[in-house]
Amino acid sequence: MAKLYFYYSSMNAGKSSSLLQADFNYRERGMNTMLWTAALDTRSEGMIRSRIGLEAEAHRFGPATDLHDAVAVAHENEGENAFGERGIDCVLVDEAQFLTPAQVWQLARLCDEAGIPVLCYGLRTDFRGELFPGSAILLGIADALVELKAVCHCGRKATMNLRVDAAGEPIREGEQTAIGGNESYVALCRRHFSQALAR
């Protein structure tokens, strides 16, 4: 039975590189994959890029994208894999926190009805420690939850994402979504996250 996976972590835990490694493993075995990333992240320009230099082209999803239908069409039209079978063997989704709840259910249908495994990679919480809507549904319905580990400056596991301004000072309020990398976010353990916000 195909499964819906959610690989989650704070920033800088290697989510994109893990996704790209999984994609490589499928393709090395002659299987067909379909990669997706959030259109909201304009830095990617239709690519999934890891901080260690790996990258691959990906389809882009926005709030109105019907992932079930898009993958189903590709599944019907994709050429034969190494086993003489047609279709998509695996769907991999980067920036899964930006999925809408409806899109998470669409991906679950791909697993349940089309038998296609779906691997989602994303943040669990935002800069306030609150769940992203897509992550909340994934945590609720995914068949497998896998935490990827990031490290706080103290050496403990980083579970929180501190948003910072250009001077490195904590930002306590604002929109849930603000695209950025190391210049905008710091992965911290809960203790140091709380201390930073209390300053």
Q: Write out pLDDT tens, residues 132-149.
A: 999 999 999 999 999 999
Say if 117 falls within a structural domain: yes
Task: Establish if 12 belongs to a structural domain.
Answer: yes
Is residue 125, in this structure, part of any structural domain at all?
Answer: yes
Residue 14 pLDDT: 87
In the beta sheet, which residues pair with residue 90?
Answer: 33
pLDDT(82) > 70: no
Q: Where in the sequence is the domain holding 138, given as residue range(s)? A: 4-149
Query: Is 131 a member of any domain?
Result: yes
Record the pTM: 0.89
CB-based contact 193:162 (threshold 8 Å): yes
* Domain total in the chain: 1
- Which letter, b or e, does each residue of 97-129 get, where b requires 16 or more Cβ atoms within 10 Å of its Cβ? bbbbeebbebbbbbbeebebbbbbbbbbbbbee
95 is catalytic: yes
CATH number of the domain where residue 74 is located: 3.40.50.300
For residue 114, being part of any structural domain is answered with yes
143-198: pLDDT as tens digits: 999 999 999 999 999 999 888 888 777 677 767 666 655 567 889 999 999 988 88
Catalytic residue (one of 95, 130, 169, 173) = 95
Residue corresponding to tokens 């920033």? 11
pLDDT (average), residues 67-82: 80
Average pLDDT over residues 85-95: 89
